[in-house]
A and B are shown apart, each in its own frame.
Chain A
Amino acid sequence: MTMKSAKRKSDQNLIGFSQRKIEGLDKSTGRAVYTDDIQLPGMLHGKILRSPHPHARIVSMDTSEARALDGVHGVITGQDMPTAYGIIPWTPDEYPLAVERVRYIGDGVAAVAAVDEDTALRALALIRVEYEELPAFLDPFAALAADGSTPYVHDAKKEGRNGNVTKTVHLEFGEVDGLMDQADVVVEGEYFFEGTTHTPIEPHCAIGLWEPDGTGPGPAARNGKLTVWSATQVPHYLHRELARVLEVDPARVRVIQPLVGGAFGGKSEPFDLEFCVGLLAMRTGRPVKILYTREEVFYAHRGRHPFHMEYRTGCDTDGKLLSVDARIVLDGGAYASFGLVTTYYSGQLLCAPYAMPAYRFDSTRVYTNKPACGPKRGHGSVQPRFAFEVQLDKLAERVGVDPVEIRRRNFIGGNTRTVNELRITSNGFLECLDAVERASGWKERFRRLPFGRGLGVAGSTYISGTNYPIYPNEMPQSAVQMQVDRSGRVAVFSGASEIGQGCDTLVAQIAAEEMGVPMDHVRVYRGDTDFTPVDLGAYSSRVTFMLGNAALDAARKLRALVQQAVADEWAVKPGEVLLAGGWALWAPDTARQMPVREAFHLAEAKFGTLGATGWYNTPKDVHGEYRGGTIGASPAYSFTAHVAEVEVGVDTGFVDVKKIWIAHDCGRALNPVLVEGQMEGSAYMGCAEAIMEEHVFKDADHGRAGLHNAPSLLDYRIPTSLDTPELESFIVESLDPEGPYGAKEAGEGPLHPSIPAIANAIYDAVGVRMDRLPFSPPAVWRALRAARRAGTLSKPGAPTRPPAAGVSGD
C-alpha cells in the first residue's frame, strides 16, 4: 500500500481505516472451519459417476451390483431427481444427475453413499451404464450452423428453431450506421477470448443431514428437516432449489455456509453434489459428504465463456468516439447457467467510462458439449472490454493521440446516463487515469522504452450489484438483524456470503462505528438460513454496496434509540449524543460521557429489548425501459484504469509482465487493506488470463474429443509467486451518494483492464497486435515470426497526427 496524499480528517473512527478481518486469525492459525473440515457422527461419503461421452443417450443403467456391495448405503440416479433446475428461473435445463442424456464428459449420472471413499469408488465401478453415443458439438460455430439432422445439445423449445442457441440479444442505441459513415477513422478488429476457469483452492464440498419427524399421519418421506452445509456463494438460491428439486417444503430446508475457500463466481449456483448429499441423506438416514476432486472442479466449471468478437469502432479526427458496432458469439458449454445474463452483459456493460453516441451489439450464446460456462469475476464484460480497449488503442494510433489522452477525451463524466440509458452517479475514472499515468512514468516512457519493452493502458467500469434479483420479487436484496446486549456487545446476524472478500468484517465495522463499540465487541453470526435474513449472495460485486447499506440501516435505527435515551438522561438533544470508542459523549462538551454499555442499559430500560432489522433495496429508475434494459443496471458503477509494463522475449515469445499499476474508484475505501487486496487479486487474475490460462478441450486428433485437456492444477497453469508481476494499488475515492459512507465495489472491476493493458503494452514493446488470448509463448512467438517476415517487427513510432481517413483492418 502506498499513501499518496496527505491524511484527511474523517467523520468516522473506524470506517476508512484498515481493520483486521474478524476471522483473520482463525484463518492464519488453522482454526477456521470450511465445509470439508466438518465431520458428523455416522457420516457416509458420496461419489458421483460421470459420463465418459460428450453427448450420449443413456439407454440403460444397472446399479444392482453397486447396491449389493458391503458398505454401500445408497445409490441414486437421475430418475430419482427428475426436476430440471437452473440458476436463472427462465432457463432450467439441467438435472442433478442426467435423466436421459449426458451433455459433456463429466456430466453426473449416478451417485453412491458408502462407509468410506474407497468403498464408494468401488461401487461406482460396479454401476453399468449403456450409452448410445450421439454426435457432439464442440465448436460454437458448428453448433450455430446445426440443422437438426443430429440431436441438438438441448431440444429446440419451438419447432424449426436451432436448439443449440441459448440466447440471442440484439440491441441498438443511436444512429450506429449513420455515425459510422461519418466517422473519420474506423477500425475493424476480430478478437478471441479463450475460456478460463476460477480454480478456487478449495474444491466444492457439501454435507447433507436429514432429521426425519416422528411418525404420524401423512406421508413421512418428506417430513423432516434437511440441512445442507455447502461451499456456496449463494445460500439463498441453493435453499430455494434444494426445496424445489428434492420436493421438500422450503421451511424444512436449512443451508449452512461455512467459510468458503475461494469462489470467484465458480460457486454461485447449485451443483450436483448439493442435491446428491441431500437426497442420499434422506434415503440413507445418515449424514453424507461429497468432496469434489480437483478434476471434478474443472468439470463443474461455470468459468469464463470463450468469446468470438468482431468490433467496428469509429471516431472523429480528435479521437472522439462516434459509433461502436459489435458481433459476439459466446461458447456456452452444455447448460444455460447464468448464460441469459452473460449474453446481455457481453454488450450492456461496455457503455462507460467513455461516452459513445451510438452503439449496437449482436450477441448469441450457443450450447456445446463441454462443461458449462458461467460467471467468472467480471462476468460477461471482461471479454468485450479486452476487445474494446485494444480497439481504442488502435484508434489512438490512427488519429495520433496518446492512448491515455484518448481515454480522457471520451470520458463520460459523472451524474449522467450511458447511451444504453444506465444511470451513472459518482465517477472517478479521470483520477484513476491520472494516477496510473503519473505512477508509471507514462509521459516519459510510453513509446520510448527500448525495443522489447512496453507500456499499455486500459480503463473499465463495473457494476456494484445487479439492480434486480435473479428471481423477480420486490423484497430487499440484502438485510441484517442487529441486537445489543447488556454486556455492551453488538450481535449482527448476516446472511451474506463470506468468500474471503471480508463482508463479515464489513458488517462488524459498520456496527462498531455506528454503535460506538470496539470492533471486538461485535459478534457476527453468519451463513445460516435458519437465523439470518436473506442476502442474495456474493456475486455481481453487490455485497459492499447492498449489505453495507443494510447494516447501516439497522445500526442507525438502534443508535437513534440509544441517543434518545442518553439525551433524555442528560436533558440534551439526541443529535448531540455521540457514540464512539466505547463511550457515549455529549458533542458540545465531551467531558460529559458515560460508558456505552450504560447507554445501552438506559435505552433498554426505556424502549425494551434492543434489536433492529435493516435492509437495502435498489432504486428502480436507473435504467432504460426496453427489453433487457434492466440487465446491466446497477445503483452505482466502479471505475478502473491500469497501466501494464511488459518485456517481450523477442526470440522466445515469452511475455514477462513486470508491473501493473492499478487505480480503482471504489467510491470510498471502508477498509483500505481489503480494498487493495481485491485490487491486487483482480489484477493478478486478469494477468493470468492474459498470459497463461486456457480452459480447453481435446479434439479427435489429440485424444478423446471433448475431454478436458488438463483438469489439474499442474496442467491448467495458474500463476505462482514467480509468475505474478509487481502490483501497485491506488485507491480513488469518488464518494458515491448512495453507497454506504460513499462506497462502491472493488472485487471485480479491477480485473478488467489488466488484459487489454497487457495487450497494448505488447504492441508498445514490439509493434505486434495480440488479438487472441492467451498471449502464451507459442502464440506470441508465431506473431513475432509473422511480423519479422512482414518486416513490421519494430518499436511503433510515437503517436502523430496523420491526415487519416478510411477503414483500417489491423
Chain B
Amino acid sequence: MPSATDIVELRVNGDLHRVGVPGHFTLLETLRYVLGLTGSKQGCDKGDCGACTVLMDGAPTLSCITPVHEAQGRDVVTVEGLATPEGPHPLQDEFDLHGAAQCGFCTPGILCSAAALLDRTPEPTREEVRDALAGNLCRCTGYTKIYDAVEAAAARLRNAGDPSKAQSDHGLREAPVSDGNGGGGARGDHEVR
C-alpha cells in the first residue's frame, strides 16, 4: 500500500527543489533520502540529540521533527551549505584544526547551531557558546574542543576584513613535545604539558 505523495517546494542551500515525498516525511528524511544531502544526521528520531539541526530562515531547527511541509517556502541551510566555492566556513575549518570533530556525527548539527550563534553574537562568551549548543549532544569530545573551535572561528570572522589578524590561533604543528630520548618509567623526569 503506497503512501500518499505530495509535491513540496523547498529552497535548500540556495537551490529550489520540487520533490515528491510521502505526506508524513520529515524535513530530515527529505534532505537525506530524497535530495541526497546526507550531511545532516539522524541520531534519535525524535528531537532529542540535535544531530539533524539545520537552519531554517537562519534559526537552528530540528529537521527530524519538522514535517517537510513546514519547510515549504522557507530558506533551509544545511551543513553542506555553510561552505563556499572558496573553501570551508571558518567554523568548519576551526573544528578540524581544534579536533572538535571526533566521530563527526554530531558535528553537522553543532555547526548549524554555532553558525546561528555567530550570526547574532559575533563575540560570544564561553557561557553563550555553551548555551547555544545545549541542544546538541556530543558523546566524544566533552565539548571543550568544540568551544575552542567556535571561539576561534568567531575571532576569524570578526577579523575577516583585517588580513593581519585573520590567522587561526590553533596550536597545530606548534612545537616538538619531546626530546625523544627514550627511557622507562623510573626516570621520573617525564615531561608534563
Contact = CB atoms under 8 A, between A and B. Distances in A.
Interface in B113-151: 129-131, 133-147
B39 A29 contact: yes
B185 A428 contact: yes
B188 A430 contact: yes
Nearest to B189: A431
Interface in B44-93: 44-46, 48-49, 51, 78-80, 82-83, 88, 91-93
Given A202-B43, A713-B49, A718 B185 contact: no
A577 to B, nearest CB: 19
Contact of A680 (B78, B91, B145, B176): B145
A2 B193 contact: yes
Interface string B167-193: 000111111111111111111101111
A470 to B, nearest CB: 23
B22 A201 contact: no
B96 A25 contact: yes
Contact of B176 (A9, A259, A435, A685): A9
Contact of A21 (B36, B99, B133, B185): B99
**Interface size band for B:** 35 or more
A714 B43 CA distance: 12
A30 B12 CA distance: 14
A676 B145 CA distance: 9
Interface in A7-43: 7-12, 14, 16-21, 23-34, 36-37, 39
A28 B101 contact: yes
A201 B106 contact: yes
Contacts of B32: 36-37
Contacts of B46: 294, 712, 714
A427 interface: yes
Interface stretch (A211-219, A477-485, A729-737): A729-737
B144 A727 contact: yes
A682 B138 CA distance: 12
A464 interface: no
B111 interface: yes
A17 B173 contact: yes
Given A118-B3, A200-B139, A29 B41 contact: no
Q: Report, as a range, how many residues of chain A touch the other chain.
A: 35 or more
A28 B176 contact: no
Nearest to A434: B192
Given A19-B173, A673-B98, A737-B182, 15 more contacts: A8-B178, A9-B179, A18-B170, A27-B107, A29-B92, A202-B41, A264-B139, A425-B184, A427-B185, A500-B104, A668-B178, A721-B138, A730-B193, A731-B193, A733-B190
Closest 10 CB pairs of A and B: A414-B185, A30-B39, A10-B176, A27-B104, A261-B105, A500-B103, A684-B142, A427-B185, A24-B96, A500-B102
Interface of B: 1, 3, 22, 32-33, 36-46, 48-49, 51, 78-80, 82-83, 88, 91-93, 95-108, 111, 129-131, 133-147, 170-188, 190-193
25 contacts: A8-B179, A12-B176, A17-B172, A21-B96, A25-B92, A28-B88, A30-B39, A32-B104, A39-B33, A118-B3, A122-B1, A201-B139, A203-B43, A414-B184, A414-B186, A415-B185, A428-B190, A500-B104, A676-B99, A677-B145, A681-B139, A734-B185, A734-B187, A735-B178, A736-B184
